[in-house]
Amino acid sequence: MSQSRDDAAQVARVLAEALPYIRRFVGKTLVIKYGGNAMETDELKNSFARDVVLMKAVGINPVVVHGGGPQIGDLLNRLSIESHFIDGMRVTDAQTMDVVEMVLGGQVNKDIVNLINRHGGSAIGLTGKDAELIRAKKLTVTRQTPEMTKPEIIDIGHVGEVTGVNTDLLNMLVKGDFIPVIAPIGVGANGESYNINADLVAGKVAEALKAEKLMLLTNIAGLMDKQGQVLTGLTTEQVDSLIADGTIYGGMLPKIRCALEAVQGGVTSAHIIDGRVPNAVLLEIFTDIGVGTLITNRKHS
């Protein structure tokens, strides 16, 4: 009996700690980029779905943008279509674009929608082509080396960047108590499809919605200093300094720049959180400690 009381007391403490955060975020929109390690085990998938359903149940409005690079790679391998990458981006010819749409807009999107719905939510799956949700244009990639007189323009196919977001559609769904789940496929001016990095789509959706938070799930504990300690509570100026002194480099740079652009574009805060931790989203939102790096546009006093 005493053990049961201890368990009950722990639940009460958790709820008491969460209550101020719930009050603060009721009615606010949170955009969550879901992918990578958080998609890899049934435990983490179910944990994520429960987190999203609970957020909606207490009056917070989650909008999910998902990736699916590994799943795309798996199907391309099974179809004997070779993958090429330039600067971390998948070269996407017409044949590869067909596979991208099939995997992201079909398999992955519907799996996430189904999972959220099975946990009591009302999720609706979308690609950027639905009602021109994500308008896009072809991404121009250039490369410059010291011996070159001018930059080389590299064609990486149907890879795009966001030019606009149909917020009317998203606001209608959110007000109808639905949870939008968005595959990062954009549509061009002539109806062509574009493969877009999911972090970038999540950032632009968060900016367009003036979201309270942008949450990027990743496979590390957060942004770390040179001693391996997780940094949090950072301003945009501090992040710029960490980039300049080489603390932030390599594969983390695009994610950090996405977070920076979002807060500079009107999002209150961006979070880079460890998607390998069960209930990572709830821990970051509703606890004092959190499980990642928080970046805001606020100045230190």
37 among annotated binding-site residues:
no
CB contact at 8 A, 63 and 182: yes
- Chain centroid, CA 18 distance in Å: 23
Q: Which tokens belong to 223?
A: 């942004």
CB contact at 8 A, 275 and 38: yes
69 among annotated binding-site residues:
yes
- Chain centroid, CA 47 distance in Å: 16
What ranges make up the beta strands (E) of the chain?
A: 29-34, 61-66, 85-86, 89-90, 123-127, 134-138, 141-143, 152-154, 160-165, 179-183, 185-187, 193-195, 213-218, 234-235, 269-274, 292-296
Residue that the structure tokens 């009381």 belong to: 5
27 among annotated binding-site residues:
no
195 among annotated binding-site residues:
yes
| Neighbouring C-beta atoms of residue 13, cutoff 10 Å | 10
149-176 burial, b if ≥16 CB within 10 A, otherwise e? eeeeeeebbbbbbbeebbeeebeebbee
Give binding residues for substrate as ranges: 68-69, 90, 195
List, as residue ranges, the binding site: 68-69, 90, 195
